Structure 1
Amino acid sequence: MAGGTVKYRHLSRNSAHRQALLRNLVTALVQHESVHTTWPKAKETQRMAEKLITLAKRNNETSRRKAQGILFTPQALLPKLFGELRERYADRPGGYTRVLRTEPKSQYDQGASAILQLVDGPKDLRFAMTAAAVARDRQLKRPSNELTLMNRAKVIRYREDGARGFDDMVARLGALNLAGGGKDKRASREERDDGTDIDVSRLAKSRTGAAKGMNASIS
């Protein structure tokens, strides 16, 4: 209808090409649990990924056939989708994926980019960043602020052995001095700003390079 609201991003592609692109991204997400792409593609892929995991939780013949029609390599990924991922999200009512904005890929490509991840998995960046913030607070012997505590509650709520896994990561980060410690310039600035908390977004940016190494990158 002329003048109607566009309900999805066209991504500068026709319908068939757009659908193939999103299926490719969702397939990579299920396989690698994390993909690095542009912000618009990540948001559109997120919608399809949420529906795919909902199909896995239904776990019947109809949902399996629909999921098979979405994945490009169903023979390899259906067992993971209807096994490991279905069990991981059995108690979670929704929100199986997360989109995190990142810095532009390069100086020549300044388009908005993002990382799309499955939550509560081994590559959950928010889980790692929140643990880093808590480890930093402990290193400076100060209490974590309300936002950090709220993020901690969110990342461990549906995660299996979430509290214990979180404490283990905090201990590892503290021992390895990866939570922002050391005598670098950023740490010095934070120590001078007595009582302020770590800016988690800056921590995310500092880890963008490392994140790219463990993500499937799709333009």
Structure 2
Amino acid sequence: MAGGHMKYRHLSRSSSHRQALLRNLVTSLFKQESITTTWHKAKEAQRLAEKLVTLGKKNTEATRRRAHQIFFEPNELVPKLFGPIRERYLERPGGYTRVLRIEPTKEDQAESAILELVDGPKDMRFAMTAKTLSNLPETTRMNELTAKNVKKVTQFRQDGVEHLRNMVEKMREGKKKRWDTRTLLGPRRVYLLEERQVRDRHLPEPVNDGELPNPVKMLHGGVLQKGTKIWNVRDIVERQKNKSKEGARLEAEKAQKKQQKQPKALQSA
């Protein structure tokens, strides 16, 4: 609607809570230069971070006061914003931050993302481009897509080509030392407390329908262990039954022999 307010994500919070959340995210972003959060929070914090970089590029007394109002740690971050970060993005017309989707990191499987400052020491796209170039043979010419990515990560970065070349050489040396032959981790367990919750509720343990859920004592002696296949129970019972019969027969023969020897001993006495 004409004249209406610009839409934004409420993030299921009140206005004051939402502003405090975004200020906290932006403070962590400019302090660490890369943070991990949900995708929706990252997109909203990205808007505020872009405005802060614009304030830093203007570098006036009014913009400094406004930055002091936004940061939770202004004494530490305002000099950084109007110093190194302003110099880094002085020639860049826009696009000071980047949001990269990643696998869910929250227990509720919420969409997660990485929010980072571009052309910084933790620029992930710069590192991924360097790794792609390090995997190519030195005599092989890069394709069009790789060349486009190289231009993106080095266009506004100071001495970007030189930094990229150094990182590629470093990765190639590490590859010769087999630093990247690591075994990949298995799938991440998100619900870490699930087993404890099931145990606290005293729910029955899940069992296979084709296995015995509990140990069973047999009439002819012996115990069928938990997990025994049901289709093997009859054979096990028959073997135990025959074994008990054979044992009883041997006991009877031994007792009979003992009785036959006893009268002879008495007669000799």
Q: TM-score, normalised by structure 2?
A: 0.63
SS where residue 98 of structure 1 aligns?
strand
Partner residue in 1 for 2:246: none
Shift in alpha-carbon separation, 1:86–1:183, aligned structure 2, 3 A: closer
Match of 2:114 in 1: 115
User: Which residue of 1 is the match for residue 51 of structure 2?
Assistant: 51
Higher relative contact order (CA 8 A, sep 6+): 1
The amino acid across from 1:58 in the alignment is: K
Q: Shift of the alpha carbon at 1:148?
A: 1.1
The answer (yes or no) to whether the contact 2:53–2:85 under 8 Å persists in 1 is yes
CA-to-partner distance for each residue in 1:3-42, whole Å, 9 max, x for gaps? x897111111011100000000000011110110000000
Q: Distance in 1 between matches of 2:128 and 2:167?
A: 10
> Counterpart of 1:110 in 2: which secondary structure?
coil
Cα RMSD (Å): 2.5
Q: Distance in 1 between matches of 2:29 and 2:162?
A: 26
- In structure 1, the partner of 2:160 is 162
Number of residues of Structure 1 aligned to a counterpart in Structure 2: 183
Query: After superposition, where does 1:1-219 map in structure 2 within 5 Å?
Result: 7-105=7-105, 108-138=107-137, 142-177=140-175
Question: Residue deviations 1:147-173, cap 9 Å, x none?
Answer: 111011010111111000000001111
The alpha-carbon distance between structure 1 residues 5 and 177, as it changes in their structure 2 partners (threshold 3 A), is: farther
Question: Identity of paired residues, percent?
Answer: 55
State the alpha-carbon separation in 2 of the partners of residues 126 and 5 from structure 1: 34
C-alpha deviation, 1:143, in angstroms: 2.7
Unaligned stretches of 5+ residues in structure 1: 187-205, 210-219
Cα distance in 2 for partners of 1:114, 1:164 equals 29
The change in CA–CA distance for 1:183 and 1:72 in structure 2 (over 3 A counts) is closer
SS of structure 2 residue aligned to 1:111: coil
Q: Is the 8 A contact 2:174 2:180 kept in 1?
A: no
TM-score, with length taken from structure 1: 0.77
For the 8 Å contact 2:99–2:115, the answer to whether it is kept is yes
Shift of 1:132: 0.5
SS in 1 for 2:29: helix
Q: Is the 8 A contact 1:136 1:181 kept in 2?
A: no
Q: Structure 1 residues 56, 184: CA separation in 2 closer, same or farther (over 3 Å shift)?
A: closer
SS at match of 1:68: helix
* Runs of 4+ deviating beyond 6 Å: 180-186
| Counterpart-to-counterpart distance in 1, 2:82 and 2:6 | 33
Structure 2, unaligned runs of 5 or more: 189-269
Please identify the structure whose Cα radius of gyration is greater. Answer: 2
- Give the Cα–Cα distance (whole angstroms) in 1 for the partners of residues 93 and 6 of structure 2: 27
| 1:142 shift after superposition | 3.4
Q: Is the 8 A contact 1:26 1:48 kept in 2?
A: yes
Matched residue type, 1:134: L
